[in-house]
Amino acid sequence: MTKTSSHADRRLATIDLYLAFTGRVQRSDLMRHFDIGIATASRSLKEYRSLHPDNISYSVSDRAYLSSSEFTPAYTHDTNAALRLIAFGQETTNISGPRYGIASPSSLTASIDMDCARVITRAIVSRGLVNMTYSSGSSGNRERTVAPHALFESGGTWYFRCHNLEKDDFRTFRLSRVKSAEVVDESEYKKSSASSNDPEWNAMVTLTIGPHPNRGNQDALREDLGLINKPVKNIQVNTAMAGFVLIDLRVDCSKEGDLNPYEYHLRLLNRHELISVDSLTIAPGFNSQKPNTAKLT
């Protein structure tokens, strides 16, 4: 794989990244990504094709350059950076010079297999199907057929939402637990399932958060939440991610609010309104009697 340094090489590496993780790239992608004109974007794509002709082809019907069936990444890519770009449209660039902080400690999260991640992200973009071997916390390694449709990050871990064809429901899977993955013909998904809408991903819920009543110095906690003239903070989130958000924010979700207030300095104040939200079963202290309803596998 090639390492890059110049602006031109960065554009070539980005073309390679789009092909690797989305399966396609257009001039407009490069124009938005680098704030360049159409002529520069066209030159970059022409140069990539001349350097790596076996990786790319042009589809007239798609009006896009597609990765070939023999595609092999020609550049070194950071999988986490690629996931951030696809999920959030964010790109992180390291700049040399003085630094006045220290890097975060190494994550305990297992590494993600880049080839598996590429299959998942390309299926998200193409709305296709994936056959994967997945290491479940409850049932071990199993083959599953899924239709991924979204990515999100929580606590330094990447997850993806998908339609699980075996149970005909929607579930959250941990990307690092995917052991192998291959694309299935998209037409098979259209034949096997007429529904592609994830109700938990599309439905929104309000989380009402406030300072934990058992903590001292309530004014400082209110300042942390930006509560100047308001008693509580309302957070809008989709129902599939609600439990993950509450974990990340370290919110006491117990019925009596009896978690350690110095470990969980916030309290969920509308718990009674969220009893039916499946993902709340993983929230701190929620104590649901149905631990599997969150469909987190």
In whole angstroms, what is the distance from residue 235 CA to residue 81 CA? 27
Contact 233, 225 (CB under 8 A): yes
Q: What is residue 9's predicted lDDT score, i.e. its pLDDT?
A: 93
* Sequential DSSP letters for 210-270: EE-TTSS-HHHHHHHTT-SS-S-EEEEEETTTHHHHHHHTTEE--SS--S-TTT--EEES-
Q: What is residue 191's predicted lDDT score, i.e. its pLDDT?
A: 54
Q: What is residue 194's predicted lDDT score, i.e. its pLDDT?
A: 41
Helix H or strand E segment including 170: strand 169-174
Radius of gyration from C-alpha coordinates of the chain: 22
- Superfamily name with CATH number, domain 114-197: Calcium binding protein CcbP, beta-barrel domain (2.30.30.530)
Q: What is residue 3's predicted lDDT score, i.e. its pLDDT?
A: 47
What CATH number is given for 7-77 in this structure? 1.10.10.1470
Q: What is residue 294's predicted lDDT score, i.e. its pLDDT?
A: 58
Domain limits of the chain?
7-77, 114-197, 203-282
Q: What is residue 218's predicted lDDT score, i.e. its pLDDT?
A: 84
Mean pLDDT by 10 residues, the chain (297 residues): 70 97 96 95 97 96 94 95 94 85 72 95 92 86 93 94 91 96 74 66 95 88 83 94 96 94 94 94 80 60
Token pair, residue 261, equals: 């207030």
Same fold, 7-77 and 114-197: no
Question: What is the pTM assigned to this prediction?
Answer: 0.89
DSSP E strands, 95-139: 129-136
Nearest alpha-carbon partner for 239 in 177, 281, 290, 181 = 281
